[in-house]
Amino acid sequence: MSFSPLVERLMESLRVLPGVGPKTAQRMALHLLERDREGGRRLTAVLGEALEAVGYCRRCRTLTEEEVCTLCRSTRRDERVLCVVESPADMLAIEEAGGYQGQYFVLHGHLSPLDGVGPEDIGLDRLETRLAEEPIEELILATNPTVEGEATAHYIASQLQGRPIRLSRLAYGVPMGGELEYVDGGTLSRAFLGRQPFAGD
Amino acid sequence: MQPQPAFLLHKRPYRETSALVELITLDHGRVRAVARGVQRPGSRSRGRLQPFTPLHLTWSGHAELKRLGLMESRGAAALLAGEALLCGFYANELLTRTLPVELPVAEVFAFYGALLEALPFPERRAPALRRLELALLEALDAAPVYMDEQGAELDPQGRYAYRAEARHFVRLAEGGLDGRTLRLLAQSDWSEPGLAGPAKGLARAALAPLLGSRPLRSRELMQRLAASRHAAASPGA
């Protein structure tokens, strides 16, 4: 037995979501149609609105429906420190970890010559303008510790040569509560190279 | 199958938790495969399956696109950063773009491995890149033949331009490369210090027809970086 064309189309459409296969899509569709039409209506309304209204913040390029996002407007954030991340999810992770009080810049990707992603595709021209206009003293390169993330960090760093901006890169390290025995070789050798002076008092 | 020595050239996400990978392997040349589950958070293979890391791999399937099996690292990854990383990207893009799938290229594999070892040292980069390019050209039967259009040997006193499509040199009144340098290039492996400039030019000319009209993005990136650095070094220029 198969469902009517419209129900089939609904299931097919639900599968655009990550992690949703045919079975899950069927459960979702049946749930909305049979048990929660009100919730479904809310979902369509919000979804439609969000897709229309949400864009990139003019300053940090994170996702927002406002011209400039709340974090960028906040007066409590340190305007002299800027952290460059690959995605809004990375930005959120850093925020949730706490401790960072500066501003952000979201690239929405990384340099990847083999995929044809160049500097203009990740808004590096925007970053440059921002660095020229704002009183930024330190730039934290928090791109992912992958080869592409590393290349992106290198490219940004080279662009900034000769400017009085302090550059830093997130350290590589052994995960908290981890055991050295199980840490992969790459992380371990980088953690060794980047070891910190230790003052036991 | 026995695990094959291999390097990952490129990985792109595929479906939810898998990746499409391009590999260069010792006995089977370039191999394309699906690596299932490697993009899953916490996957142990995720960290292992990285470019510039020596690997041991197995795969299955008879179609062009294989299914990756076992993955093990067989040594420390080259710690590449900055310029060296971009050179590594260049090598990866070059191999992905020019090598046909499953053409055995053991020489190219060997020189690729040697390149990764050389990349952390700035002075060893160019010679290692030239050796890889030459091995690649030889494997693809596209290396220059040091003859003129009549099939005669090159005159040490003459000036020449390379015609990559025909794989021979044509005489020029001026400019181009001089015959003496070309005769040296013909004998050596392109990596002698004095030959760096001409060898680079010749490699580029010889590779051009293999790459077609689409430029190498990693080379563009290196050039843009060099240009911006130049601008930073001499403000107002």
Summarised one tens digit per residue, pLDDT across range A65-96 is 999 999 999 999 999 999 999 999 999 999 99
Ramachandran category for residue B192: left, alpha or beta (phi over 0 → left; psi -120 to 50 → alpha): beta
- pLDDT surpasses 90 at B232: no
Do B102 and B123 fall within a single domain?
yes
The residue out of B73, B98, B132 marking a domain boundary is B73
Answer whether 0.90 is exceeded by the pTM. no
Q: Is residue B167 part of a domain?
A: no
A162 dihedral zone (left: phi>0; alpha: psi -120 to 50; beta): left
Q: Does B227 touch chain A (CB under 8 A)?
A: no
Which of B22, B38, B224 should one mutate to test binding to chain A, selecting the residue with the greatest count of A CBs within 10 A?
A: B224
Domain boundary, last residue among B25, B48, B73: B73
Q: A184 to chain B: which residues are within 8 Å by CB?
A: 47-48, 73
Minimum-distance CB partner of B47 among A114, A162, A184: A184
Q: Does residue B223 share a domain with residue B137?
A: yes
Q: Would B99 be classed as within a structural domain?
A: yes
**Boundaries of domain holding B11:** 4-73
pLDDT at site B237: 38
For residue B57, give the CATH number of its domain. 2.40.50.140
Sequence-distant (≥ 6) Cβ neighbours of residue A104 within 8 angstroms: A60, A62, A71, A82, A83, A84, A85, A91, A94
**pLDDT of B127-152, one tens digit each?**
899 999 999 999 999 988 888 888 88
**CA-nearest residue of chain B to A116?**
B217
Structural domains for chain A: 5-53 (1.10.8.420), 56-169 (3.40.1360.10)
Residues of B in contact with A193 (CB under 8 A): 79
CB pair distance less than 8 Å for A185 and B12: no
Q: Which of A149, A175, A184 is nearest to B77 (CA)?
A: A184
B161 touches chain A (CB under 8 A): no
B69 and B108 in a single domain? The answer is no
Same domain? For B66 and B90 the reply is: no
B178 inside domain: no
Residue B160 domain flag: no
Choose the closest CB to B217 out of A18, A116, A184: A116
Residue A199: which pLDDT band, with cuts at 50, 70 and 90?
confident
A185 contacts chain B (CB < 8 A)? yes
Both B45 and B86 in one domain: the answer is: no
Residue with tokens 């303008």: A129
pLDDT tops 60 at residue B234: no
pLDDT band of residue B157 (cuts 50, 70, 90) is confident
Please count the residues of chain A.
201
Q: Does the pLDDT value for residue B233 go beyond 70?
A: no
Rounded to 5°, angle at Cα A71 from A65 and A74? 120
Of A119, A158, A185, the CB nearest to B76: A185
Identify whether residues B107 and B221 lie together within a single domain: yes
Amino acid at A170: L
- Asked if A146 is an interface residue toward chain B (Cβ–Cβ < 8 A), one would say yes
Do both B130 and B34 map to the same domain?
no
Q: What percent of chain B has pLDDT over 90?
A: 44
For residue A114, give the nearest of B79, B93, B235 by CB distance.
B93
Q: Report the domain count for chain B.
A: 2
In this structure, are B138 and B226 located in the same domain? Answer: yes
Boundary of a domain, candidates B44, B73, B102: B73
Residue B201 in any domain: the answer is: no
Structure-token match 């290349």, residue found: A151
